[in-house]
Amino acid sequence: MTNTNTGGEASERTLNFIEQIVENDNAQRVWGLNERGVPKVHTRFPPEPNGYLHVGHAKSICLNFGLALRYQGKFNMRFDDTNPSKEEQEYVDSIIRDVKWITSAFDDAGAGFSAGSYDTGPAAGGLFYASNYFEQMYLFAEELIRKGKAYVCDLTGDEVSARRGKPGVPATSPHRDRPIEESLALFRDMRMGKFPNGARTLRAKIDLASPNFNLRDPVMYRIVHESHHNTGDAWCIYPMYDWAHGIEDSLEGITHSICTLEFEDHRPLYDWFIDAINEGRTDDGSGPWGRRIQHPQQIEFAKFRPTYTILSKRNLLKMVSERIVSGWDDPRMPTISGLRRRGYTPRAIRACMEDVGITKVESSIDIGRMENALRDHLNRVAPRAMGVLRPLKVVITNWPQGNVDDLDFVINPEDPAQPKRKTRFAREIYIERDDFMEAAEKGFFRLAVGQEVRLRWAYFITATGVVKDASGTITEVHATYDPATRGGDAPAGPDGQPLRKVKGTIHWVSADHATDAEVRLFDRLFVAEEPGTRTGNWADDLHPRSLEVARAKLEQSLSTAKVGDTFQFERLGYFRVDEDSVSGTLVLNRAVTLKDSRPAGESGKSKGAGAAGRMYSIAEAAHELKLKQEKLAAMLPGAGISDFASRTPAQLTLAEVRGLKDWIKKNPPTK
Partner RNA sequence: UGGGGAUUGGUGUAACGGUAGCACGACUGACUCUGACUCAGUUAGUCUAGGUUCAAAUCCUAGAUCCCCAGCCA
Backbone angles phi, psi at 526, to 5 degrees: -125, 150
Kindly give the pairing relationship between strand 384-385 and strand 566-569.
parallel
**Does residue 241 bind RNA (CB under 7 A)?**
yes
**Does residue 83 bind RNA (CB under 7 A)?**
yes
Give the closest residue to 302 by CA, choosing from 18, 611, 609, 11: 18
Distance CA 505, CA 413 (A): 15
Burial 615-635 (b: 16+ CB within 10 A, else e): bbbbebbbebbebeeeebbeb
**Does residue 597 bind RNA (CB under 7 A)?**
yes
166 versus 562: smaller Cβ distance to RNA:
166
Give the closest residue to 126 by CA, choosing from 32, 248, 44, 247: 44
Are 221 and 201 in contact by the 8 Å Cβ rule? The answer is yes
Enumerate residues 182-201 that contact RNA by CB under 7 A.
Answer: 197-201
Interface mask (CB under 7 A) for RNA, residues 418-457, using x and -? -------------------------xxxx-------x-xx
Quote the least distance from Cβ 480 to RNA, whole Å: 18
330 versus 656: smaller Cβ distance to RNA:
656
Quote the least distance from Cβ 357 to RNA, whole Å: 3
Are 145 and 184 in contact by the 8 Å Cβ rule? The answer is yes
223 versus 528: smaller Cβ distance to RNA:
223
Burial zone of 274 (CB within 10 Å; 0-12 exposed, 13-18 middle, 19+ buried): buried
8-state DSSP, 52: -
Distance CA 671, CA 668 (A): 9
**Does residue 5 bind RNA (CB under 7 A)?**
yes
Quote the least distance from Cβ 579 to RNA, whole Å: 26
Among 214, 231, 278, 480, the residue binding RNA under the rule CB under 7 A is 214
492 pairs with which residues across the strands? 498
Among 68, 77, 123, 160, the residue binding RNA under the rule CB under 7 A is 160
Among 184, 302, 317, 539, the residue binding RNA under the rule CB under 7 A is 302
**Does residue 663 bind RNA (CB under 7 A)?**
no
117 versus 298: smaller Cβ distance to RNA:
298
Distance CA 176, CA 160 (A): 12
Quote the least distance from Cβ 482 to RNA, whole Å: 12
**Does residue 390 bind RNA (CB under 7 A)?**
no
Segments in 541-581 forming alpha helices (H): none
| Beta strand ranges found along 556-658 (DSSP E) | 566-569, 573-577, 586-593, 615-617, 651-653
Give the closest residue to 43 by CA, choosing from 28, 30, 60: 60
Among 60, 103, 515, 568, the residue binding RNA under the rule CB under 7 A is 568
Quote the least distance from Cβ 368 to RNA, whole Å: 6
Among 123, 223, 394, 509, the residue binding RNA under the rule CB under 7 A is 223
Long-range contacts of 596-603 (CB under 8 A, 24+ apart): 599/443, 602/443, 602/444
Are 86 and 48 in contact by the 8 Å Cβ rule? The answer is yes
Among 376, 452, 530, 656, the residue binding RNA under the rule CB under 7 A is 376
521 pairs with which residues across the strands? 548
Interface mask (CB under 7 A) for RNA, residues 91-120, using x and -? ------------------------------
17 versus 108: smaller Cβ distance to RNA:
17
**Does residue 161 bind RNA (CB under 7 A)?**
yes
610 versus 638: smaller Cβ distance to RNA:
610
Quote the least distance from Cβ 9 to RNA, whole Å: 14
Give the closest residue to 639 by CA, choosing from 620, 619, 623, 625: 625
Size of the site for RNA (CB under 7 A): 110
Kindly give the pairing relationship between strand 387-388 and strand 566-569.
unpaired
Element (H, E) at 79: strand 74-79
Quote the least distance from Cβ 99 to RNA, whole Å: 15
Quote the least distance from Cβ 592 to RNA, whole Å: 10
Enumerate residues 30-49 that contact RNA by CB under 7 A.
Answer: 46, 48
Enumerate residues 462-501 that contact RNA by CB under 7 A.
Answer: 487-489
Among 534, 624, 639, 663, the residue binding RNA under the rule CB under 7 A is 624
Segment contacting RNA by CB under 7 A, of 67-75, 141-149, 338-346, 593-601 = 593-601
Among 126, 148, 157, 640, the residue binding RNA under the rule CB under 7 A is 157
| Beta strand ranges found along 240-318 (DSSP E) | 256-260, 297-301
Residue 568, Cα to own-chain centre: how many angstroms? 22
Element (H, E) at 308: none
Among 39, 51, 218, 387, the residue binding RNA under the rule CB under 7 A is 218
**Does residue 599 bind RNA (CB under 7 A)?**
yes
Distance CA 569, CA 507 (A): 9
194 pairs with which residues across the strands? none
**Does residue 659 bind RNA (CB under 7 A)?**
no
Among 35, 417, 611, 670, the residue binding RNA under the rule CB under 7 A is 611
8-state DSSP, 372: H
Distance CA 251, CA 369 (A): 38
Quote the least distance from Cβ 556 to RNA, whole Å: 19
Distance CA 455, CA 156 (A): 75
Quote the least distance from Cβ 248 to RNA, whole Å: 9
Segment contacting RNA by CB under 7 A, of 35-43, 327-335, 375-383, 552-560 = 375-383
251 versus 547: smaller Cβ distance to RNA:
251
Amino acid at position 35, single letter: E
Enumerate residues 326-365 that contact RNA by CB under 7 A.
Answer: 355-365
Quote the least distance from Cβ 223 to RNA, whole Å: 6
**Does residue 414 bind RNA (CB under 7 A)?**
yes
Segment contacting RNA by CB under 7 A, of 51-59, 94-102, 411-419, 556-564 = 411-419
8-state DSSP, 524: -
Distance CA 390, CA 387 (A): 9
Length of the chain counted residue by residue: 671
Quote the least distance from Cβ 269 to RNA, whole Å: 10
Quote the least distance from Cβ 283 to RNA, whole Å: 29
100 versus 163: smaller Cβ distance to RNA:
163
Enumerate residues 243-262 that contact RNA by CB under 7 A.
Answer: 245, 261-262
Interface mask (CB under 7 A) for RNA, residues 498-537, using x and -? ------xxx-------------------------------
281 versus 614: smaller Cβ distance to RNA:
614
- How distant, in Å, are the alpha carbons of 5, 199, 281, 297, 343 from that of 249? 33, 29, 18, 9, 35
